[in-house]
């Protein structure tokens, strides 16, 4: 290696720590380089070895997840997004990622650029984005700060998705005090691609040109990955707004069209989104994957701010940029396509064979690093942190529910309070700001998962959902993660889809806290066991640590994004009651178990305690198979997963989404708190026309499922005998208008 390297600033341990590196990591860098790093180099190491980019505290556990399968076209984590073969020469690309810390500091831009980044991950694979889902978590809804963050995040997601032209088709919004300072903004994007047009993030071909395609580079987002996304919040976090990127959805729309045409034309050797860590990440990761190097001239990088230093250019996270390696014999064609779409293109270097990044500015070499030294799977650090079971778990699991005197609780008042909970009521105010019909793929359906038709493969469709009850994970990390996967699978099955694969977004606190790390490990083990059982491999995702502040650590929140396949979108199911006289069946065991982690316990007593509900994966799989078969055969008219809030809330939701149909419910025992509001898993409520009842019972017996006829669909009234009776219109007013009233 040449040793004539230029450094703007003398690097020492203090500079390394300012870049987010530990003293041990700085010593490792000295060993790898055999010399002191330049200032640009220490910045590159800082972002590439950050938690956000290197997964240094999580990768060993992530590798234990099932990450391959017969339908997976790329192994998890190896490309910009996962790709699942759906037959007939097509694949679905999908991925979920977080933009938590930026959204806490600058909610509109943080959320907007979260959408932009995940969309680029999809179309950099050659796939056209067809849907976005979001999983959002905020603090106490009555706090002004929560209302400010919620409005900013929702506006950011709506602005970017609507302007870009992709429908936001589903998701979840959850409120809990632990998210007061640390909202979670997890965004999932989905696209479709012909398998022969999949593009990969590899650099190959000595002498091939390396080009930036898209927007120019500014100072926004510098240290977004290493300092904002990889550290917990302090009193100074409000001063970190400059580390939040600024998005331009109209520029991204043009970048999408140019990228897809470039890939289709055959001129692309490799392509990667320029997201976290900017040029540093894309050059190093593409080089390492292709076992090549790159020679980069930073003077050729289009800048929108004068006098940017090499350090700033390499670390900038300016949005709407992609790094391409083109076939050197067809660069003119690439330039022509970019010109057609009015998308800037600039060659900034070329591919070399030595595996080294050579970075130049103003005729001076400012960095010379082996690409393998920087990346996940190379010489980036990988840690096993100390894991200790939290002391709080034993105390919570021993909680004595008898002290609550639940038998004295008024059932009717309890129902209204739980039904009015911000976690139960409709989030219509949120989703009405999203265009869910753009591109006209969305099947208009009220159900437990979003359904999209695939115009390329009629009559096939896909179902999509995001799920996680973080209270359950807080109370029992292993079981809570198992439930998250099972509920996602159950939700796609409720609309008639077969669960195929997942993507995950693992949101946790400080990994250097042994109790936090124990919950992380247990959750990953639980997720892996459930995915293996359902044969739904993990296609990719991300890890977001350090989600805590001086006041709060979030509940561990491993968000699951599930993809299901539907053979015929004309044979799907929704949750709303359809016909007067349809019979109502509860399928699965109503265990009447304790109320640990339930919405009832939180609303009535402000408690998150006890243990998570038990779960039987064998029963869950049989239930899923039953649902898919019964929906395909047209036996049932509606299906709804019984989850948050319990049986009473499940039935009420089926009423309020219907055309003024309600239910007359008669249970075997006198309704009580445990029966109506426990959140036992593996339960679904279905309706069946009377003429199909015997066929339904035959199917239930065939799958050896527990079941019980509990009522009938009626007009206008929702009644649980010996419990309460309400007008459906009254419940609709609560359900659909409460959130707007709370937000003012």
What is the SS3 assignment for 602-617? HHHHCCCCCCCCCCCH
Q: What are 160-207's pLDDT values in tens digits?
A: 999 999 999 988 999 999 999 999 999 999 999 999 999 999 999 999
Q: Which of 133-142, 197-206, 333-342, 434-443 has the lowest mean pLDDT?
A: 434-443
> pLDDT-based confidence at 443, cuts 50/70/90?
confident
Cis peptide before 459 (omega within 30 of 0): yes
3-state secondary structure of 342: coil
Asked whether the predicted pLDDT for residue 415 surpasses 70, the reply is: yes
| Among candidate residues 103, 141, 136, the one with its CA nearest the CA of residue 740 | 141
Whether the per-residue pLDDT at 230 is higher than 60: the answer is: no
Third-level CATH fold of 1-66+199-381: Phosphoribosyl-aminoimidazole Synthetase; Chain A, domain 2 (3.90.650)
d(CA 275, CA 120): 9
Looking at residue 473, what is its pLDDT? 98
Mean pLDDT of 687-715: 98
Q: What does pLDDT average to over the chain?
A: 94
Decide if 101 contacts 184 (C-beta within 8 A).
no
d(CA 565, CA 559): 20
- Section 647-665 average pLDDT: 97
Give the neighbor-by-neighbor strand order of the sheet with 356-361: 268-273, 321-326, 209-214, 345-352, 293-297, 356-361, 364-370
Q: Note whether 675 and 592 are within 8 A (CB).
A: yes
> Which residues have CB under 8 Å from 678's CB, separation 6+?
590, 591, 592, 593, 594, 595, 598, 600, 613, 646, 647
Strand partners, 213: 322, 345
Mean pLDDT over residues 351-373, rounded? 98
User: Which position has the token pair 């080089």?
Assistant: 287
List beta partners, residue 92.
Answer: 84, 192
618-638 pLDDT, tens digit per residue, is 999 999 999 999 999 999 999
Tokens 């499922």 label which residue?
705
Confidence band, pLDDT 50/70/90 cuts, at residue 549? confident
pLDDT at 6 over 60: yes
For residue 713, the model assigns a pLDDT of: 98
Residue with tokens 């505290």: 57
Are 660 and 729 spatial neighbours (Cβ–Cβ below 8 Å)? yes
Q: Are 121 and 281 in contact (CB under 8 A)?
A: no
Q: What does the alpha-carbon distance between residue 489 and residue 629 come to, in Å, rounded to a whole number?
A: 15
Q: How far apart are CA 537 and CA 541, in angstroms?
A: 12
| Of the options 1.10.10.10, 3.90.650.10, 3.40.190.10, 1.10.3720.10, the CATH number for the domain spanning 573-744 | 3.90.650.10
Q: Across residues 126-131, what is the average pLDDT?
A: 96
pLDDT of 243 strictly over 60: no
Q: Same fold for the domain at 1-66+199-381 and the one at 573-744?
A: yes
Q: Which of 225-229, 317-321, 506-510 has the lowest mean pLDDT?
A: 225-229
Instruction: Tell me the pLDDT band of 233, cut-offs 50, 70 and 90.
Output: low
Burial class (CB in 10 A: 0-12, 13-18, 19+), 538: buried
Q: Which residues contact 474 (CB under 8 A, 6 or more apart)?
A: 480, 519, 555, 556, 597, 608
The DSSP call for residue 420 is T
Give the whole-angstrom CA distance, residue 391 versus residue 386: 15
- Extents of the domains making up the chain: 1-66+199-381, 573-744
Task: Provide the token pair at 429.
Answer: 């105010």
Closest CA to 198 of 286, 287, 81: 81
**In contact, 355 and 280? CB cutoff 8 Å:** no
- Positions marked active-site: 52, 99
The answer to whether the CB of 739 falls within 8 A of the CB of 426 is: yes
Which pLDDT score is estimated for 97?
95
3-state secondary structure (DSSP) of residue 35: coil
Task: Provide the pLDDT for residue 1.
Answer: 42
- The whole-angstrom separation of Cα 260 and Cα 93 is 14
449 in Cβ contact with 566 (< 8 Å): no
State the pairing for strand pair 128-138/538-544.
unpaired
At 133, give phi and psi (nearest 5°): -130, 155
Q: What is the mean pLDDT of residues 271-297?
A: 95
* Coil/strand/helix, residue 586: strand
> Does the pLDDT of residue 672 top 60, yes or no?
yes
How far apart CA 131 and CA 119 sit, in angstroms, is 9
* pLDDT of 445 higher than 80: no
Q: Please give the average per-residue pLDDT across 266-277, as a whole number.
A: 93
Contact 122, 272 (CB under 8 A): no
Using DSSP's 3-state secondary structure scheme, residue 161 falls into helix
The β-bridge partners of 715 are 661
DSSP E strands, 67-161: 82-87, 90-98, 128-138
For the record, the structure tokens of 395 come out as 């105390």
């Amino acid at each position: 290696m040449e040793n004539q390297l230029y450094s703007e600033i003398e690097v020492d341990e203090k500079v390394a720590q300012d870049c987010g590196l530990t003293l041990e990591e700085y010593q490792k860098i000295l060993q790898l380089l055999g010399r002191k790093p330049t200032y640009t180099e220490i910045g590159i190491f800082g972002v590439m070895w950050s938690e956000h980019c290197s997964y240094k505290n999580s990768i060993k556990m992530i590798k234990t997840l099932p990450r391959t399968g017969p339908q997976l076209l790329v192994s998890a984590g190896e490309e910009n997004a996962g790709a699942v073969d759906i037959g007939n020469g097509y694949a679905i690309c999908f991925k979920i990622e977080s933009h938590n810390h930026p959204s806490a500091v600058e909610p509109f831009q943080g959320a907007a650029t979260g959408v932009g980044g995940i969309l680029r991950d999809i179309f950099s694979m050659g796939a056209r984005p067809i849907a976005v889902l979001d999983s959002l978590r905020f603090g106490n809804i009555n706090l002004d700060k929560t209302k400010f963050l919620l409005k900013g995040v929702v506006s950011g997601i709506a602005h970017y998705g609507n302007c870009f032209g992709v429908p936001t088709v589903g998701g979840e919004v959850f409120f809990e005090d632990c998210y007061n300072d640390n909202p979670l903004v997890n965004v999932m994007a989905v696209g479709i691609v012909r398998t022969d047009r999949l593009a990969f993030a590899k650099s190959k071909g000595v002498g091939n040109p390396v080009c930036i395609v898209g927007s120019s580079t500014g100072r926004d987002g510098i240290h977004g990955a290493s300092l904002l996304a990889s550290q917990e919040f302090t009193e100074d976090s409000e001063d970190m707004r400059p580390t939040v990127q600024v998005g331009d959805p109209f520029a991204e729309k043009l970048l999408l069209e140019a990228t897809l045409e470039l890939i289709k034309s055959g001129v692309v050797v490799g392509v990667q989104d320029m997201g976290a860590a900017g040029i540093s990440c894309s050059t190093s990761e593409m080089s390492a994957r292709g076992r090549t190097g790159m020679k980069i001239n930073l003077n050729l990088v289009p800048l929108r701010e004068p006098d940017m230093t090499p350090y700033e250019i390499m670390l900038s996270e300016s949005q709407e940029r992609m790094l391409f390696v083109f076939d050197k014999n067809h660069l003119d064609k690439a330039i022509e396509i970019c010109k057609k779409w009015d998308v800037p293109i600039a060659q900034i270097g070329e591919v070399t064979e030595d595996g080294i990044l050579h970075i130049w500015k103003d005729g001076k070499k400012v960095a010379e690093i082996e690409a393998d030294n920087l990346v996940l799977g190379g010489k980036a650090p990988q840690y096993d942190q100390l894991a200790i079971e939290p002391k709080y778990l034993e105390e919570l699991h021993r909680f004595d529910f008898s002290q609550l005197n639940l038998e004295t609780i008024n059932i009717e008042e309890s129902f209204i309070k739980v039904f009015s909970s911000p976690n139960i009521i409709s989030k219509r105010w949120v989703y009405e700001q999203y265009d869910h019909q753009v591109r006209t793929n969305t099947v208009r359906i009220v159900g437990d998962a979003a359904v999209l038709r695939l115009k390329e493969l009629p009559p096939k469709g896909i179902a999509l959902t995001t799920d996680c009850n973080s209270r359950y994970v807080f109370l029992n990390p292993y079981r809570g993660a198992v439930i998250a996967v099972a509920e996602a699978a159950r939700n796609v099955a409720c609309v008639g889809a077969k669960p195929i694969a997942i993507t995950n977004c693992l949101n946790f606190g400080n990994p250097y806290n042994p109790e936090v790390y124990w919950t992380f490990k247990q959750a990953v083990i639980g997720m892996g066991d459930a995915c293996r059982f359902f044969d739904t491999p993990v296609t990719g995702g991300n890890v977001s640590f350090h989600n805590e502040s001086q006041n709060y650590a979030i509940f561990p929140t491993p968000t699951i994004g599930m993809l299901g396949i539907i053979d015929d979108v004309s044979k799907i199911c929704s949750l709303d009651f359809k016909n007067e006289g349809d019979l109502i069946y509860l399928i699965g065991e109503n265990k009447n178990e304790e109320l640990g982690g339930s919405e009832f316990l939180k609303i009535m007593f402000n408690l998150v305690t006890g243990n998570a509900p038990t779960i039987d994966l064998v029963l869950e799989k049989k239930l899923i198979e039953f649902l898919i078969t019964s929906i395909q055969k047209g036996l049932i008219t509606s299906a709804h997963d019984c989850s948050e809030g319990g049986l009473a809330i499940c039935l009420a939701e089926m009423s309020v989404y219907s055309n003024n149909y309600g239910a007359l419910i008669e249970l075997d025992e006198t309704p009580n708190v445990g029966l109506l509001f426990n959140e036992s898993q593996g339960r679904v409520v279905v309706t069946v026309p009377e003429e199909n009842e015997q066929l339904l019972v035959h199917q239930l017996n065939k799958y050896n499922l527990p079941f019980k006829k509990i009522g009938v669909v009626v007009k206008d009234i929702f009644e649980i005998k010996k419990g309460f009776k309400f007008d459906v219109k009254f419940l609709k007013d609560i359900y659909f208008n409460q959130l707007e009233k709370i937000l003012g």
